Amino acid sequence: MTETAMSMSTDAQKQIADALNQCVAETAVTTMMAQNFHWNVTGMAFGPLHELFQKIYEDHFVAQDDLAERVKALDAHAEGTLAGMIKRSKVVEHDGHASAEEMIKTLKEAQETLAATLAGAGELAAEHGDTLTEDLCIARGQEHEKFAWFLRAHLR
């Protein structure tokens, strides 16, 4: 049976919102990572990497809002502190001191982590009949897999 945000049990809402807050946290940390790399990338590939990193952080900034708003639609609290996001995130902050190749590898791994986290949140939503959250997670996961592919292409 398909459920809407307010027709689900409180427990289902809480579980899905917690999974989405994980997605928000990892997206926020990855957003900052991409922006940090955008500012600090150097070398022969500066131009295309500078542009790609910007495309990534701009996409992720919008995604944070979409994910957090779904948390609110589930009648839960959206994590809004950097400290809370960093603590929760499986993606680790980066100080931006790295070669262009290291930046690419690190950001690629972050994209893969995000795709996996979103896939898990989507599966949880599907178990509870929350097709709207499942759809959001699928769409976001596809974006992160696409960015991982873009980044991998620079390493070959």
pLDDT value of position 1: 64
pLDDT for position 8:
85
pLDDT at 6: 75
Q: What is the pLDDT of residues 117-129, one digit of tens each?
A: 999 999 999 999 9
User: How far apart are the C-alpha atoms of 121 and 138, rounded to whole Å?
Assistant: 9
Residue for token digits 């873009």?
150
CA 145, 150, 155 angle in degrees (round to 5)? 120
Q: What is the per-residue pLDDT for 42?
A: 96
pLDDT at res. 71 = 97
Residue type, 103: M
Pick the CATH number of 10-154 from 1.20.1260.10, 3.40.630.30, 3.40.605.10, 1.10.260.40: 1.20.1260.10
> Residue 25 corresponds to which amino acid?
A
| pLDDT for the residue numbered 5 | 73
- What is the rounded distance in angstroms from the CA atom of residue 38 to the CA atom of residue 104? 11
Q: What is the dihedral of CA 112, 117, 118, 119, to 10 degrees?
A: 90
Average pLDDT of adjacent 10-residue blocks, the chain of 156 residues: 78 96 98 98 95 98 97 95 96 96 98 98 96 97 98 94
